């Protein structure tokens, strides 16, 4: 059967949006309306003729509404295969009438959790009858239409449905119940039972934009958003202008936002990212001062990069950013002058994020591998978690310690092996993603020398800098490369079997070295 007229509809919704207009449209087509509780009241208040579910089942709603639709008169009318002789005979024998349409949306479980309700209220907002009707109707979509989204009401107002419509609606319905069950399972696992890694990991996301392509043009891609309370990240940022964001734009902008969020309570800070690695980071008295210092770190890599700031963007900083090609700018907000400056750069994407995310927030980091997923707690380690230990004869000066802390924060967001030189609250050189730490130290130093030549400085900013390593120095050679670059202070996790050798090399070079006890690998 392709096109089926709707003769009887069962309406039972928590979200009453549009339900009265739908009821009127169906009633105008002569549809018999059956409803429950608050939905029936809303329809009657609008002057519609509605039968209670108890009229259909012969039983009253009971147990505070827990039991009302779980009945053969309901599920028989949903599940019966209409042209199956035995099914038809059973319907006749037991007086079961066919139900051609079910309109259901479920108890607001996620909203109840989000508002911080007590456990008993959360449990009461686990819908049982609703998902049961949804699944029954969706299974029998050859004959029954199931609508779970008010946006689809227009499809059924004509009083009949096609098979293609019913198949589409059934697919949406099963996705809705799967996401609903996922939210319940997550609450039980994480909130109620306090599990870190439950035996089954139930995840549900809602598709946002489909992207032009993935990391490369032959790959397809889409953005998926978490369900439940609104998250606070790059995926939720408001795009003011510019081309649609690509997969790589999202990935790089996320890297920039995560790093600049480390400074959300600090002075004005600018982060410039290229290919998910910071190529320049600086703090300053003003955003423009911070941007110029960050840009000077690597003027080559900044071309076509991503800029993130921790303060509302002003016009002067926007003009400086606009002097070179920039893919994306992310900021908590922007003044009208800044927006006007960027409006002349029609391809530049301006993202306004509102409040920056908390770098110490809990959560899971998920990576796909062949045949499975790797899941870990996200790296929320911050400077506040560190118990710094000076392991050299020389103590760091206040300035060196400040630069150590700054370099360490940046190194957390650089691909391993990571080496970051910093001086006066700005990166001097960044070495990322090398197979050994010595090469990262050398590359970062080379970048600093190149930056000095381009800027016309007398010496690279690695002279008198602090250097951060995301993991311990397994040998003294990486440390000695930092000494050659002019670093005077080092911050690293420690923990190598050769720590004594590395400490001795630092003492011999007159360095001050601090151990953090925390590693920040980022692969």
Q: Which alpha helices (H) appear in 140-217, and where do they start and end?
A: 153-156, 163-186
Half-sphere exposure of 158 (CA within 13 A, CB side): 11
DSSP of 388-432:
-EE-SSSPPPHHHHHHHHHHHHHHTTSPSS-EEEEETTEEEEEE-
Q: Supply 469's token pair.
A: 């390593």
CA distances from 266 to 260, 263, 284, 357, 398 (A): 10, 5, 10, 14, 17
Q: Has 339 been annotated as catalytic?
A: no
How far apart are alpha carbons 53 and 348 in whole angstroms? 56
Terminal CA-CA length for the chain: 54
Q: What φ, ψ does residue 475 adopt, rounded to 5°? A: -135, 165
How far apart are alpha carbons 256 and 254 in whole angstroms? 5
How far apart are alpha carbons 508 and 512 in whole angstroms? 11
How far apart are alpha carbons 469 and 493 in whole angstroms? 8
Q: Supply 205's token pair.
A: 């996301």
Q: Has 87 been annotated as catalytic?
A: no
List of residues 6+ apart from 283 with CB closer than 8 A: 263, 266, 267, 268, 269, 290, 406, 425, 426
What is the distance, to the nearest Å, from the Cα of residue 267 to the centroid of all Cα atoms in its chain?
26
How far apart are alpha carbons 478 and 424 in whole angstroms? 22
CA distances from 74 to 114, 130, 144, 169 (A): 32, 12, 13, 19
Count of Cβ atoms closer than 10 Å to residue 207 Cβ: 10
Question: How long is the chain?
Answer: 523
- In the set 16, 29, 172, 275, the catalytic residue is 275
b (16+ CB within 10 A) / e for 125-143: bbbebbbbbbbbbbebbeb
Between vectors from CA 32 to CA 29 and to CA 38, what angle results, nearest 5°? 115
> Could you tell me the maximum CA-CA distance found in the chain, to the nearest angstrom?
98
How far apart are alpha carbons 436 and 390 in whole angstroms? 25
- In the set 16, 29, 71, 139, the catalytic residue is 139
Torsion, Cα 417 419 425 427, to 10 degrees, reads -90
Catalytically active residues, by annotation: 139, 275
């Amino acid at each position: 059967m392709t096109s089926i007229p709707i003769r009887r509809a069962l309406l039972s919704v928590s979200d009453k949006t549009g339900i009265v207009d739908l009821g009127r449209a169906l009633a105008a087509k002569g549809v018999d309306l059956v409803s429950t509780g608050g939905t029936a009241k809303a329809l009657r208040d609008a002057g519609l003729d509605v039968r209670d579910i108890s009229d259909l089942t012969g039983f009253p709603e009971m147990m505070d509404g827990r039991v009302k639709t779980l009945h053969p008169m309901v599920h028989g009318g949903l599940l019966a295969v209409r042209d199956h002789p035995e099914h038809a005979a059973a319907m006749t024998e037991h007086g079961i009438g066919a139900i051609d349409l079910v309109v259901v949306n479920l108890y607001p479980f996620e909203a109840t959790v989000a508002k911080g309700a007590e456990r008993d209220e959360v449990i009461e907002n686990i819908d049982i009858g609703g998902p049961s009707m949804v699944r029954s109707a969706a299974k029998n979509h050859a004959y029954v239409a199931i609508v779970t989204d008010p946006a689809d009401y227009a499809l059924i107002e004509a009083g009949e449905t096609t098979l293609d419509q019913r198949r589409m609606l059934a697919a949406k319905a099963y996705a809705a119940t799967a996401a609903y069950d996922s939210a319940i399972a997550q609450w039980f696992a994480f909130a109620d039972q306090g599990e870190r890694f439950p035996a089954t990991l139930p995840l549900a996301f809602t598709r946002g934009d489909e992207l032009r392509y993935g990391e490369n043009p032959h790959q397809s891609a889409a953005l998926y958003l978490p369900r439940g309370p609104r998250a606070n990240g790059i995926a939720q940022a408001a795009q003011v202008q510019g081309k649609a964001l690509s997969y790589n734009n999202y990935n790089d902008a996320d890297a920039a936002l995560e790093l600049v969020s480390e400074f959300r309570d600090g002075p004005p800070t600018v982060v410039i990212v290229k290919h998910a690695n910071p190529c320049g980071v600086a703090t300053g008295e003003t955003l423009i001062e911070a941007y110029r210092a960050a840009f000077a770190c690597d003027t080559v890599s900044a071309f076509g990069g991503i800029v993130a700031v921790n303060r509302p963007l002003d016009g002067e900083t926007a003009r400086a950013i606009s002097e070179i090609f920039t893919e994306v700018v992310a900021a908590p907000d922007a003044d009208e002058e800044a927006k006007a400056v960027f409006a002349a750069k029609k391809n530049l994407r301006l993202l306004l994020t509102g409040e920056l995310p908390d770098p110490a927030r809990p959560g899971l980091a998920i990576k796909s591998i062949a045949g499975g997923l790797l899941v870990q707690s996200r790296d929320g380690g911050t400077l506040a978690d560190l118990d710094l230990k000076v392991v050299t004869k020389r103590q760091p000066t206040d300035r060196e310690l400040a630069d150590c802390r700054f370099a360490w924060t940046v190194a957390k967001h650089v691909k391993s092996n990571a080496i970051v030189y910093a001086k006066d609250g700005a990166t001097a050189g960044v070495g990322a993603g090398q197979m050994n730490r010595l090469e990262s130290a050398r590359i970062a130093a080379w970048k600093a020398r190149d930056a000095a030549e381009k800027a016309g400085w007398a010496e690279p900013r690695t002279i008198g800098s602090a250097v951060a390593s995301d993991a311990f120095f397994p040998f003294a050679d990486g440390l000695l490369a930092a000494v050659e670059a002019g670093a005077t202070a080092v911050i690293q996790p420690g923990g190598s079997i050769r720590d004594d050798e590395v400490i001795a090399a630092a003492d011999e070079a007159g360095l001050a070295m601090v151990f953090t006890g925390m590693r920040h690998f980022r692969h």
